[in-house]
């Protein structure tokens, strides 16, 4: 990935924060999820790896940065950021810790100009199981003023693997796994979304969607090769019969849970 600015805040076992900063157009970086540091990547910002000869500067922590080791062994991290667009912020735990609470807060504004009171950023959680650390990463899209509160919990064993492959966690399924809102798919529901499609294709799509529903009810979050094979054959047919995949995905927005599931499947198998 590329960013114009990068700040990494590494927390040690005592709750002390070390800050490293890069200012360079453009920073080509990646997050190492599996390996330990090697000679070329053994930098203060690992598990972040930066390509080229970027100058990594050590900076003091600001007064707005507050990091405390709690009595229960957890670590509380609080910070405020006032940054331009193209900024990458990475907060990395000590070994044996992972984020249990992440809160982003907006700041009050008195003007329509200047720094926004919104939080125009994407954030994600990454981990490196080889060194047993995890990171909260924020990709800031436009200049903004916002705050973050993170509690890192001490764990037994190895930190979670936050990388997603296929349907290995509830977020990929978009079928309301959190509140278990399963819905049986029938011919009429799919035909109302695709009235002009071949009926045989619709029957095949109904079958594979119900296979997924049954898989979810059994609390199995990993797709079988059979389901993947069926989807890889039927979804391109559905996309081919529409004006475009984007238009097709938009048409699902008001189609409830089934529409959400179809939208995700088209994105994955419709290319």
Calculate what percentage of the chain has a pLDDT beyond 90: 19
CA atoms within 13 A on the CB side of 253: 5
2-154 CATH: 2.60.40
Q: How far apart are CA 86 and CA 230, in angstroms?
A: 41
* Range list of β-strands (E), 155-208: none
Nearest-angstrom CA–CA distance, 271 and 269: 6
Q: What pLDDT sits at residue 186?
A: 78
Structural contact between residues 184 and 108, judged by C-beta atoms closer than 8 angstroms = no
Closest CA to 77 of 88, 87, 90: 90
Q: How many helices (H) and strands (E) does the chain have?
A: 6, 11
Nearest to 206 by CA among 231, 229, 228: 231
Of 43 and 131, which is predicted with more confidence? 131
Alpha-carbon distance 209 to 183, whole Å? 10
Report d(CA 77, CA 269) in Å as an integer: 40
What is the pLDDT averaged over residues 226-234? 82
* pLDDT one-digit tens code per residue, 196-222: 778 888 888 888 888 877 877 776 666
Q: Tens digit of pLDDT for each residue in 126-172?
A: 999 999 999 999 998 888 888 889 999 999 989 888 775 544 443 44
- In the structure encoding, which two tokens stand for residue 231, read together? 């989807």
Give the pLDDT confidence score for residue 243 in this predicted structure. Answer: 44
pLDDT the model gives residue 207: 87
Q: Mean pLDDT across the stretch 169-198?
A: 61
Q: Compute how many other C-beta atoms are within 10 angstroms of the C-beta atom of residue 87.
A: 20
CA distance 154 to 95: 9
Which residue is it, tokens 């070994």? 95
CA distance 47 to 105: 26
Q: Enumerate the CATH 2.60.40 domain ranges in the chain, comma separated.
A: 2-154
User: Residue 42's pLDDT is what?
Assistant: 57
CB 155 within 8 A of CB 96: yes
d(CA 205, CA 191): 10
For 43-96, give the DSSP string: -TTTTEEE-S----EEEPPPTT-EEEE-TTS-EEEEEEEEE-TTEEEEEEPPTT
CA 87 to CA 89: how far, in whole Å?
Answer: 6
Q: To 10 degrees, what angle do helices 256-269 and 199-217 make?
A: 100
């Amino acid at each position: 990935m590329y960013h114009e600015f990068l700040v990494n805040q590494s927390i040690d076992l005592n709750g002390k924060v070390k800050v490293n900063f890069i200012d360079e157009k453009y920073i080509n970086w990646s997050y190492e999820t599996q390996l330990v540091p090697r000679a070329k990547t053994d930098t203060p910002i690992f598990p972040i790896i930066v390509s080229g000869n970027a100058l990594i500067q050590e900076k003091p922590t600001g007064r707005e940065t507050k990091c405390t080791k709690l009595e229960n062994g957890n670590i509380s991290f609080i910070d405020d950021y006032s940054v331009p667009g193209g900024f990458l912020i990475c907060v990395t735990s000590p070994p044996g810790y992972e984020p249990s609470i992440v809160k982003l807060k907006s700041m009050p504004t008195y003007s329509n100009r200047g720094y926004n009171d919104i939080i125009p950023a994407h954030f994600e959680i990454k981990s490196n199981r080889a060194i047993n650390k995890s990171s909260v990463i924020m990709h800031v899209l436009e200049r903004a003023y916002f705050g973050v509160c993170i509690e890192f919990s001490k764990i037994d064993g190895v930190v979670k693997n936050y990388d997603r492959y296929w349907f290995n966690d509830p977020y990929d399924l978009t079928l309301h796994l959190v509140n278990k809102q399963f819905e049986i798919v029938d011919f009429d529901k799919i035909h109302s979304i695709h009235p002009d499609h071949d009926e045989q294709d619709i029957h095949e799509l109904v079958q594979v969607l119900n296979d997924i529903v049954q898989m979810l009810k059994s609390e199995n979050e990993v797709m079988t090769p059979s389901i993947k094979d069926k989807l890889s054959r039927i979804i391109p047919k559905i996309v081919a019969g529409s004006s475009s995949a984007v238009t097709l995905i938009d048409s699902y927005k008001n189609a409830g849970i089934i529409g959400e599931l179809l939208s995700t499947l088209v994105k994955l198998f419709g290319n």
